[in-house]
Structure 1
Amino acid sequence: MIRKHITSLTMFMALACLASCIDDKGNYTYIPSEDMLPISISVPEIGEDDDFIRAVKGEELHLTANVSGLDGSDKYSFLWYAFPNNTNATTDERIELARSQNLDLPSVMLRAGEWLLCFKVTDNELGIFKENQYRMTVSSSSFSRGWYIMKAKDGYSDVDYFPANYPAEGVEPTRDIIALSGYTLAGNPVDLAWQENNYCHPVTDEYGTTSIELLEAWHFLSDRDALVLQGGGDMTLLKDYDEQFYTAPASRNPQAFLFIDTSNHQILIDGGNLYGVVGTAFKYVGTMTPRSIGKYTLKPSDHTYYPAVIPYTSSSDVLLYDTKTKGFYRYLPNSSSSNVSTLASFQLNGEFIEPSNLNSDIIKYSRSLNSSPQVYILTHELSNDKYRLIKMVYAWGSKSIPFDAYNEVPAGSLLLQCDYMATPGSGDLVYFNHGNEIYYYRDAPGLDEREFKLFDVPTDEQITHMQCNSGNGGNYLIIMTSKGNEWKCYFHLIPNVGQPEVNTTPDMTLTGEGVASRLMYKAW
């Protein structure tokens, strides 16, 4: 439990009345604090298990404090306050929010970042109090819930933001949020990610004292550059490309990126090499847990990695594919050595498989956008000229074998000619394009028919990316296209999870300037 129960007994006179003195040696009878102030506090909106709440700057915040054990008199007072959850926080930084039992804020005015929210009940007659603390993340309201489309434009990458309620009346997108913040990101899009909390950033005051603030942060990566910007209206630069590394690579070529929000790990492939940032530990007032200001560390090896970081299990380990040895390897950032290791051989459907010695080339890779992603990988076996479709499902817990399916793709399949695949959040199927025609492929051996056409994309538009989303943001097959200097993003609803059918008419279409090829949905 994160909650801290803090009871202060400031009752010198009360103890004097209760004490029995023997030979003036100060023998006292101490009464447990629970007996002096026998109350309990709960806040239904926060819950008993996580003791964590999110608030959005500029929006309302309403919390109900249930206090049991009060005797009904007016001798009790209440206080809500907050102070920054950083290493050098002092009581001078306390911000009073309300002097009432319930908290009703018409507008959250705290800066975006990590806070401790405190609720205090005081017995004014005895001079004692009981206080509960909760971890609170305040998010900026400038760029909040909605779709973020990353595109290339005039040699640079940038992002267009579409609020979650777009295209409601009066709701407009915000264009080029990186340039709007005063920065540039040269090159073509690679990835973008939102770090909701616990980005450790050092701040030195006028006296030379350095503290570490926990911030929300954006990670933007192109094939030539990378930026970390603070979440908020001004999008302040936290680290440029070189500042994100202990030793910056000469390649300056980000190829794949994965941010694991449950552990705050960052995993990067740059120039075929693996770099990692081990996530930072939480720090709560009254504890000695350190915070580290993580930077990318090179994981030396003889491997050259395919540009994909594959989420594997909830232990934050990932899989990587070496294009030289032609096999999968496992990277465990939580281990003491943080090494890359081989995967054990296994049997699947009667076939013996050596995942770290597949002797195959990866043709196409696709991962779904959701918290427990599913992956499909199309490979070409060099020894026998066969094509295989590998299915990997993220595991909440341990996983005995890495592949969930390893099926041969028929030689005449249109899937082998695709430019893009899109893996749904669940189901034994993958979507793909054949020119401007959209199909799905049933990943099930023994079927007479496996490929089925769904619809056509306008012939004067070029497909630039395909991906599926599930969970937050909706269950969609998403297709990005370009025509001239305009991009379009079509959202086709998948009405039944795990089934291939989609609405052939887009349920939503987003547009902008440039060539779009990456996207994400921000839920907070």
Structure 2
Amino acid sequence: MKLIYQSLAACCMLLISSCYKDHGNYTYDAPEEITITGIAGSYDKVSLVDRLTIDPQVSSSDPKAEFTYWWGIYETNVQGSAPKVDTIGRTKALDYLVTQPAKGWVLVFGAKNMHTGLSRIVTAGVNVITQFTRGWYVMKDDGGHTDVDLFLTPSGIAPASKVENVFSMVNNRKLDGEARLFGFYTNYKSNVTGTLANTRSLFILSDKDASVVNINTFKEIHGLSGLFYETPSVKKPGSISEASQANYFVNNGHLHSIYSMSANVGLFGGKQLRDDNNSPYSLSKYFLAYSFWNPFFFDELSSSFVSATGTGSVLSAVSDDSGTEMPANRNNKELLFMGVKSTNPYTGVALFRDKTDPALKILSIITPSNFTLKMENDTLAPTDKLGAAERFGLIVADENILYFSAGGEVWSRNLSNGAEQLQFTVPAGEKITFIRHRKYSGSTTAEQPFYYNYMLIGTTANGNYKVRAFSKTSGNLAASPVFTMEGKGSVGDVIYIAPPMSNTTYPNSY
């Protein structure tokens, strides 16, 4: 019986299917394609100066297409919330004055076909800068006050124009004292944007004053009195540096720090003690520091090296590493110069003068390891030009050479074999005030016109300065500078700033 029912069901299904006719239409239109061209992948614009002027081409495979358009912009790297898109236009062509603060942004363009409802969106990066975010900064003084000149480099590393006294122009004051040292950091904390966050900051140090400015606007974040939880009674800046994930400030020979890897308000703490007995100390302005290693300073009172941590309240003792040729503690020496030679491996160079016998001068190669030092010594001969050195310029990471000035001459000393060679003689009447090696090579093709590797030599004469930028080959300076920057005053330091630069672009050093 069951078999009979199954047979009847099968016959019914066949009957139904034989009566069904397919009236479907299987002709489909090709999907619409919207094409947008004429928008570049990225744009570099100066805030409050440049405009985004773009007229893209929009087409569709739909012959009846009618489009509406919109433009928007939003900030990148937003943390803790979704990025907010600001609408800046509703026409196909965009002509928009860039007003956003200097940082990375994303430009958005949308086209919608009203006939089909289909939309197409494209994006482009916008790197917003200001006139202060790219160029050569020259710190100079007139003998009593310090200011900064900016040499603009819109299309290449050679300056195209100059803005004088940008610090006083923006902040309505000059720094007291003579120009000394720049320090550029991207992890310094401030609330310049309304929220406490990392700020691209430039420290400006004279021998009597200091300031930290927001590099996007060059407005002062703090003066020397406002840089500390407790206003220092003596204003005598020595150095600014970064090492072991902290910022270090030497004022009046005492060390202050900010641990940059934790929340902070950009203020340096109280002075670190020399030891548990609070022994007196006075640190030299020279130092060894690199972001990921321990810093090293030299106590001029005890002729001893010390180190530090960003979270400590007491300076760290330094001991001798195996094979050292000079003790790190109580070596009876005066430090004439010290600087970073290489960050990988972490090494430095120092020049000492004996306190008992001032004619005895020793050049040392220093290799730090945790809180120990190994020093390999080269005792200078009385005929060595380095013994009469006044200014120093250590080549970082390239050739194993130390540049120095003696009178109106610039010499090089090969640190491998001690050979000395005259490199440059300044014109009569000029006095050398500054020597430094600066090097920049980024990681993006767009930055290649701004790459450089120069020895910078600053001179002054009759109240005016010159900074000559020399290229070098195998450590020897070219016969003539690539370019020369000129202005009023005497030069203390020079630094080149560009948007991609970070804390590690330039090793901290005099």
Structure 2: how far apart are the matches of 1:434 and 1:452? 12
Q: In the alignment, what sits opposite 1:308?
A: 286
Q: In structure 1, the residue corresponding to 2:174 is in which secondary structure?
A: coil
Q: 2:475 aligns with which of 487, 495, 500?
A: 500
Amino acid of the structure 1 residue aligned with 2:404: F
Q: In the alignment, what sits opposite 1:376?
A: 349
Q: In structure 1, the residue corresponding to 2:440 is in which secondary structure?
A: coil
Q: In the alignment, what sits opposite 2:86?
A: 95
Change (3 A) 1:330 1:215: closer
Q: In the alignment, what sits opposite 1:245?
A: 228
1:157-211 Cα shifts (integer Å, max 9, x gaps): 111111235899993211000111123211111222344466321777xxxxxx4
1:43-96 Cα shifts (integer Å, max 9, x gaps): xx89xxxxxx9986466899xxxxxxxxxxx9xx999752487889787x6435
The percentage of aligned residue pairs carrying the same residue is 17
Change (3 A) 1:319 1:467: same
Q: In the alignment, what sits opposite 2:271?
A: 299
8 A Cα contact 1:424 1:470, kept in partner: no
Structure 2: how far apart are the matches of 1:391 and 1:200? 38
Q: 1:513 aligns with which of 488, 501, 506?
A: 488
8 A Cα contact 1:327 1:358, kept in partner: yes
Structure 2: how far apart are the matches of 1:149 and 1:109? 28
1:247-396 equivalences in 2 (<5 Å): 247-259=230-242, 265-279=246-260, 291-302=263-274, 303-312=281-290, 314-333=291-310, 336-337=311-312, 339-348=314-323, 351-366=324-339, 375-382=348-355, 386-392=360-366
1:361-440 equivalences in 2 (<5 Å): 361-366=334-339, 375-382=348-355, 386-392=360-366, 402-403=373-374, 405-425=376-396, 426-440=398-412
1:289-333 Cα shifts (integer Å, max 9, x gaps): xx4212011232233100123214x42531111112212222232
1:217-264 Cα shifts (integer Å, max 9, x gaps): 33222222222233335x33322222211001111111212256x95x
Change (3 A) 1:203 1:231: closer
Q: Does 1:487 align with 2:472?
A: no
Structure 2: how far apart are the matches of 1:275 and 1:297? 6
8 A Cα contact 1:422 1:467, kept in partner: yes
Amino acid of the structure 2 residue aligned with 1:390: S
**Number of residue-to-residue matches in the alignment:** 428
Q: Does 1:236 align with 2:219?
A: yes
Amino acid of the structure 2 residue aligned with 1:175: E
CA RMSD of aligned residues (A): 4.8
Q: In structure 2, the residue corresponding to 1:475 is in which secondary structure?
A: strand
8 A Cα contact 1:113 1:197, kept in partner: no
8 A Cα contact 2:239 2:250, kept in partner: yes
Change (3 A) 1:237 1:477: closer
Structure 2: how far apart are the matches of 1:80 and 1:274? 48
8 A Cα contact 1:273 1:298, kept in partner: no
Structure 1: how far apart are the matches of 2:256 and 2:319? 24
Change (3 A) 1:352 1:369: closer
> What's the TM-score, normalizing by structure 1?
0.67
Amino acid of the structure 2 residue aligned with 1:421: F
| Deviation larger for 108-117 or 421-430 | 108-117
Structure 2: how far apart are the matches of 1:372 and 1:223? 31
Structure 2: how far apart are the matches of 1:136 and 1:276? 36
Structure 2: how far apart are the matches of 1:277 and 1:137? 30
Task: Give the unaligned 5+ runs of structure 1.
Answer: 1-44, 47-52, 63-73, 122-133, 205-210, 282-290
1:437-492 Cα shifts (integer Å, max 9, x gaps): 222112235x6xx2222231112111111111223452222211111111111112
Structure 2: how far apart are the matches of 1:266 and 1:135? 32
Change (3 A) 1:223 1:154: closer
Q: In structure 2, the residue corresponding to 1:309 is in which secondary structure?
A: strand
Deviation at 1:273, TM superposition (A): 0.5
Q: In the alignment, what sits opposite 2:74?
A: 82
Q: In the alignment, what sits opposite 1:69?
A: none
8 A Cα contact 2:455 2:469, kept in partner: yes
Structure 2: how far apart are the matches of 1:373 and 1:78? 53
Change (3 A) 1:500 1:468: same
Q: 1:199 aligns with which of 183, 189, 212?
A: 189
Larger radius of gyration: 2
Change (3 A) 1:149 1:105: farther
Amino acid of the structure 2 residue aligned with 1:256: S
8 A Cα contact 1:61 1:106, kept in partner: yes
